Structure 1
Amino acid sequence: MARIATLTLNPALDLSTRTDTVRPTHKLRCAEPRLEPGGGGINVARVVHALGGEVTAVFPCGGPTGATFEKLLRDTGVPVAPVPIAGATRESFTVDETETGEQYRFVLPGPTLDENELEQLLQTVTGGDSPPDYIVASGSLPPGCDPAIFHKLCSLGGKIGARLVVDTSGPALAALEGGCAWLIKPSLREVEELVGRELAGEADQTAAARELRDRGFAEVVVVSLAERGALLVAEGTELRMPAIEVPAGSAVGAGDSMVAGLTLALAAKKSLEEALLYGVAAGAAALLTPGTELTRREDVERLYSAALAKGSTQNRS
């Protein structure tokens, strides 16, 4: 089985709870909180592990929150490779308003990592006796981190023959231009920001994804279209996948679940079409779970099998 490593440069100890109504200046009586290890690459690792893949989660870890974070992640069964840091692992919290069904998500900035800590993280994710076949770098960057850090990761990954999958945003995403990643997964809004124009229809969206590929952002560009599914552009291939309809639930982790399913399917030597479908199924499955709970394997397999039988992919090569 192909090996996957995830790198999360700014993980978070996620606290989630619920209250009847969110009102300013009021004391809000909340339900018992739930603590989980979170952050883009952490969520990807948890989903890959839940889906039966071989994965190791690499992340910075510091302070009391870091100790709690590491224990919780180990308790999930995910193999871990924490890198000690001087700062404290950040926290974030989610509040579900039960009267309206609205969800409020509060994300804190996280610790600043020094050059030695960053270098140790890069060496940990690319080193070891059994180097990964795929590296998934997912999530936000810590404060003050050079957005070009993924270029260095790409160079290190290339030396071991690993494919780099990146799911990030803002300056870190923009800095990928020039041939860094093997695969990126921006949202439609992020693609519009990168190409500098609004993308009104399918033809415009496909052309923009092709432009990103031509500008060297990645060999494979997967655009998340939310309720409209996903678009994939690669050499000689254009795939458009409609969303899989499921009852609306919590969207926490849906994008990370999609990346996990997509990467795991590619690592299992599935075709781009099958991998995209599996990724969309994993993202849809995340909507079926409450709060910050991530994708369940049985949901992914059920949704994937049903969609595969339906044959809903539009393939233009």
Structure 2
Amino acid sequence: MPHIVTLTLNPTIDVATSVPEVTPEHKLRCGPVRRDPGGGGINVARVVRELGGEAIAVYTRGGATGSQLEELLEEKGLLRRSVPLQDATRESFTVAEGTGAREYRFILPGPTLSEREWQRCLDALEDVAVGATYIVASGSLAPGVPEDFYARVARLGKRLAVRVVVDTNGPPLRAALEEGVFMAKPNRRELRDLSGASVEDFATQAAAARELVAQGRAEVLAVSMGADGALVTTRTAQFRATPPPVRTYSSVGAGDSFVAGMTLALARGQSTEDALRWGIASGTAALLTQGTDLCYRADVERLFTQVKAEPVSRP
């Protein structure tokens, strides 16, 4: 049984292409097209496998695009368990403009799940997660899924004695943290929303993260800060790490790569400090790939040696 199980309620086929220039009204002739299986948990599972770990992806699929998603996942060699839907799996697409490679990302809403369908996702997760070490519930919720769905996943994890990692936003993230999870990955805006306080500078961000951990909402809180790196907080320690400078080709999947690198390191028994370094290295490596491709192991291992995690002074 793999140590890591991922859950994707609203997967997608990620389509990436390019145009010389984005202009209104005119037909835009696109370059070569790349298609990848996507969605938060699926991306995490892909990166875990790339880094030499083993994960099993639980996800929904429906219609012709759902069949194509199955084919793409088969090509990636992922262990998986799908939950069939009546409606079709969504597509999302990224368009890179010109030599500067400015990205335009278009995210479709996805199929609406019935109560029976989202309940079957919980049932499938429970079947697969028995004996696992981590559940990574990542990405947006599909229409029709209740806002407390990830909180239900957190309760399931507690019942199975499996650590739950949540990477989402808005009310679903708040509900999950009210239930309590092992790890969550908000960004700075989400940290402000969760804490209800102004977190405009690093000191107040660090204080807000410590307060959320002290309240028992998460044992590990990893706050992503974009180009400024990430801040990781536990009850006993706090570390900050910044990414090494690289040329960015695409930011697609960088956050999912961060979660995968960190979770896999923790599953391997590494320290929170080193897990943060692996997360930063994985997220940074994803910036080096084109379109909807994700990180490569050689890049991650090279960048890991360049990442330093600095302890944050606690008042």
2:310 equivalent among 298, 310, 313: 313
**Could you tell me which residue of structure 2 aligns to residue 101 of structure 1?**
101
Structure 2 CA distance for aligned equivalents of residues 106 and 297 of structure 1: 28
**Could you tell me which residue of structure 2 aligns to residue 165 of structure 1?**
165
Structure 1 CA distance for aligned equivalents of residues 108 and 198 of structure 2: 30
Structure 2 CA distance for aligned equivalents of residues 129 and 270 of structure 1: 22
**Could you tell me which residue of structure 2 aligns to residue 62 of structure 1?**
62
Once the two structures are overlaid, the 10-residue window that deviates more, 230-239 or 260-269, is 230-239
Q: Give the conservation status (yes or no) of the 8 Å contact 2:150–2:173.
A: no
3-state SS of the aligned residue for 1:176? Answer: helix
Structure 1 CA distance for aligned equivalents of residues 166 and 129 of structure 2: 23
Structure 2 CA distance for aligned equivalents of residues 312 and 106 of structure 1: 34
Q: Give the conservation status (yes or no) of the 8 Å contact 1:257–1:282.
A: yes
Q: Give the conservation status (yes or no) of the 8 Å contact 2:11–2:60.
A: yes
Structure 2 CA distance for aligned equivalents of residues 209 and 258 of structure 1: 18
Structure 2 CA distance for aligned equivalents of residues 314 and 213 of structure 1: 17
Q: Deviations over 1:42-84 (max 9, x none)?
A: 1101000111111001001100000001110111011111111
Measured after TM superposition, the shift of residue 154 of structure 1 is 1.4
3-state SS of the aligned residue for 2:305? Answer: helix
Q: Give the conservation status (yes or no) of the 8 Å contact 1:178–1:215.
A: no
Q: Deviations over 1:227-250 (max 9, x none)?
A: 111111111111111222222221
Q: Deviations over 1:277-312 (max 9, x none)?
A: 1111101111111111100000001111233xxx44
Q: TM-score w.r.t. structure 2 length?
A: 0.95
Structure 1 residue 231 and structure 2 residue 231: aligned?
Answer: yes
**Could you tell me which residue of structure 1 aligns to residue 40 of structure 2?**
40
3-state SS of the aligned residue for 1:177? Answer: helix
**Could you tell me which residue of structure 2 aligns to residue 268 of structure 1?**
268
Structure 1 CA distance for aligned equivalents of residues 27 and 99 of structure 2: 16
Q: Give the conservation status (yes or no) of the 8 Å contact 1:177–1:215.
A: no
Structure 1 CA distance for aligned equivalents of residues 99 and 51 of structure 2: 34
**Could you tell me which residue of structure 2 aligns to residue 86 of structure 1?**
86
3-state SS of the aligned residue for 1:175? Answer: helix
3-state SS of the aligned residue for 2:95? Answer: strand
Structure 2 CA distance for aligned equivalents of residues 129 and 266 of structure 1: 17
Gaps spanning 5+ residues in structure 1: where?
Answer: none
**Could you tell me which residue of structure 1 aligns to residue 186 of structure 2?**
186
Matches within 5 A, 1:239-254: 239-254=239-254
Gaps spanning 5+ residues in structure 2: where?
Answer: none
1:94 partner letter: T
1:272 partner letter: T
2:33 partner letter: P
Structure 1 residue 23 and structure 2 residue 23: aligned?
Answer: yes
Q: TM-score w.r.t. structure 1 length?
A: 0.95
Structure 1 CA distance for aligned equivalents of residues 249 and 188 of structure 2: 21
Q: Could you say if the C-alpha distance between residues 129 and 156 of structure 1 is closer, same or farther in structure 2, counting changes exceeding 3 Å?
A: closer
Structure 1 CA distance for aligned equivalents of residues 313 and 11 of structure 2: 38
Measured after TM superposition, the shift of residue 129 of structure 1 is 8.4
**Could you tell me which residue of structure 2 aligns to residue 5 of structure 1?**
5
Q: Give the conservation status (yes or no) of the 8 Å contact 2:5–2:129.
A: no
Q: Deviations over 1:252-284 (max 9, x none)?
A: 110000000000000000000010111111011
Q: Could you say if the C-alpha distance between residues 89 and 269 of structure 1 is closer, same or farther in structure 2, counting changes exceeding 3 Å?
A: same
Matches within 5 A, 1:193-212: 193-212=193-212
Once the two structures are overlaid, the 10-residue window that deviates more, 269-278 or 111-120, is 111-120
1:52 partner letter: G
